[in-house]
């Protein structure tokens, strides 16, 4: 008896899951290719790779790809592909913020270092927050959604402008051997404080915006505070043996990998259920991780490449799909953008530079700190994507803040090199290495 053969070509049409996979895979391939090319071009012009990856996301959106090849972009990023990209980007952001939280060093070596870092962080938050509040109150009628109050809008804008790209800052310092210099440690501590405060502000704004009433808002804030207390007080203690084990062996076993992946994903799920974005849960989970330097180094070595190479470009592309730069055309829109950019740049750069000078550093070091603290990188993109997803900002303001992210991040390294030429930088790195050597010998 002959059995009729089934046509293989019909498989994709009859299997909706396979059909969806065959749509998602080309989109991922294009995203990764664009990120790789633009990232390489960025390094060729002395910019961090993340600047090129951010630009790649914008170029894949309606600004360039969608304008030149609208049919191809609509087919590549179709309506059924975008939810998959959103899920991947959300997982990537949760894990990335987990790694950011886990990489923050709470310790201060030199006497008074934490006090100085707190003063710098206060200027890094206060100056752009005040200018951002002023810009928000001024532009509320022009840029806000009708269901968002004037002060809520202004606080969101001020919070977005007060962020610092802590991971990018850490990468610049480590690549140049400056992480243990006075300027390096001060800036890392201050940036970590800045970002922690900004994320707490966003959690509170999300609770207010989505709460539906004073009682619901207070409930959300209370549950978020309780979650953070349990993570930092209970879960952190339970994880200490894991930290000692990894520090002793220098690597993660299979069981440890499951733990460090499940903890941030579970924390993200819980904060989403509370009413706060999952990224906040990932960040708190990172803060709860063991603080041993060997543990942090092993964790970043195991996870960062996968997260930053595969998942973050998806997030940049998803952000780019929501970025309509054509909406910034026209006199009023360009004037509004200029006001926001000026508030962002002046608040961070001059505020942090003058604060560093007031702490007793030289002018060169002070301007270098201001340049690094002014970079916003990926952090502001995460912040404003949450605002857009939760209906706190418009597409127009989102596009403006994407440009602010790109421009302030791209200006950071040139301004830093202008303030600290290579010969001065090498001398400070050598001094820091000599001090670290003496500390190791004394220990």
Q: Which candidate, 278, 267, 272, 256, places its Cα nearest to that of 234?
A: 267
Residues 6+ apart with CB under 8 A from 91: 265, 311
- State the DSSP code for 276: S
CA atoms of 267 and 274, how far apart (whole Å): 11
Token pair for 379: 């952090």
- State the DSSP code for 81: T
Residue 191 burial (CB count, 10 A): 29
The stretches of 322-420 forming alpha helices (DSSP H) are 331-345, 351-358, 363-374, 377-389, 395-419
Using a cut of 0.85, tell me whether the model's pTM lies above it.
no
Strand intervals (E) in 231-307: none
CATH number, span 31-68+81-432:
1.20.1530.20
> In this predicted structure, what is the pLDDT of residue 174?
67
Give the residue ranges of the chain where pLDDT is below 70.
Answer: 1-13, 104-111, 167, 171, 174-180, 211-217, 327, 425-443
Token pair for 116: 């100085």
DSSP symbols for 10-53 = GHHHH-HHHHHHHHHHHHHHHHHHHHHHHHHHHHHTT--HHHHH
> In this predicted structure, what is the pLDDT of residue 9?
47
Whether residue 318 contacts residue 132, with contact meaning beta carbons closer than 8 Å, is answered with no
> In this predicted structure, what is the pLDDT of residue 200?
76
Q: In which region does residue 177 sit, left (phi positive, over 0), alpha (psi from -120 to 50) or beta (all else)?
A: left
pLDDT more than 90, % of the chain: 24
CA atoms of 143 and 244, how far apart (whole Å): 51
Whether residue 388 contacts residue 313, with contact meaning beta carbons closer than 8 Å, is answered with no
> In this predicted structure, what is the pLDDT of residue 10?
46
Residue 141 burial (CB count, 10 A): 9
């Amino acid at each position: 008896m002959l059995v009729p053969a089934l046509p293989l070509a019909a498989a994709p049409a009859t299997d909706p899951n396979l059909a969806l996979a065959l749509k998602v895979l080309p989109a991922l391939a294009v995203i990764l290719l664009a990120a790789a090319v633009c990232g390489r071009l960025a390094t060729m012009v002395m910019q961090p790779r993340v600047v090129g990856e951010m630009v790649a996301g914008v170029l894949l959106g309606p600004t360039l790809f969608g304008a030149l090849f609208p049919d191809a972009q609509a087919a590549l990023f179709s309506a059924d592909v975008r939810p998959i990209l959103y899920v991947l980007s959300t997982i990537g952001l949760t894990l990335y913020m987990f790694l950011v939280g886990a990489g923050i060093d709470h310790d201060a070596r030199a006497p008074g270092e934490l006090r100085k870092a707190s003063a710098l962080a206060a200027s890094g938050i206060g100056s752009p927050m005040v200018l951002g509040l002023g810009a928000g109150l001024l532009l509320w009628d022009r840029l806000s959604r009708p269901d968002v109050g004037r002060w809520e809008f202004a606080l969101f804008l001020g919070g977005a402008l007060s962020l610092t790209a802590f991971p990018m800052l850490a990468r610049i310092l480590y690549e140049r051997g400056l992480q243990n210099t006075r300027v390096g440690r001060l800036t890392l501590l201050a940036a970590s404080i800045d970002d922690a405060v900004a994320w707490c502000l966003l959690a509170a704004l999300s609770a207010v915006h989505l709460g539906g009433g004073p009682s619901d808002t207070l409930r959300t804030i209370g549950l978020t505070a309780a979650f953070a207390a349990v993570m930092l007080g209970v879960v952190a203690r339970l994880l200490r043996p894991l930290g000692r084990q990894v520090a002793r062996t220098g690597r993660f076993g299979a069981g440890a990998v499951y733990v460090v992946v499940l903890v941030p994903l579970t924390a993200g799920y819980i904060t989403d259920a509370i009413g706060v974005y999952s990224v906040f849960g990932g960040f708190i989970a990172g803060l709860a991780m063991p603080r041993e330097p060997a543990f942090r180094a092993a964790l970043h070595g195991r996870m960062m490449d996968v997260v930053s190479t595969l998942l973050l470009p998806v997030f940049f592309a998803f952000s780019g799909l929501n970025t309509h730069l054509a909406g910034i055309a026209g006199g009023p829109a360009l004037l509004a953008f200029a006001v926001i950019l000026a508030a962002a740049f002046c608040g961070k750069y001059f505020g942090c530079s003058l604060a560093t000078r007031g702490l007793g550093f030289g002018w060169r070091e002070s301007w270098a700190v201001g340049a690094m603290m002014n970079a916003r990188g990926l952090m502001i993109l995460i912040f404003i994507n949450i605002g857009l997803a939760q209906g706190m900002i418009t597409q127009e303001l989102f596009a403006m803040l994407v440009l602010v992210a790109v421009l302030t991040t791209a200006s950071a390294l040139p301004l830093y090199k202008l303030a600290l030429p290579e010969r001065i930088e090498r001398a400070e790195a050598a001094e820091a290495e000599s001090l670290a050597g003496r500390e190791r010998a004394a220990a």
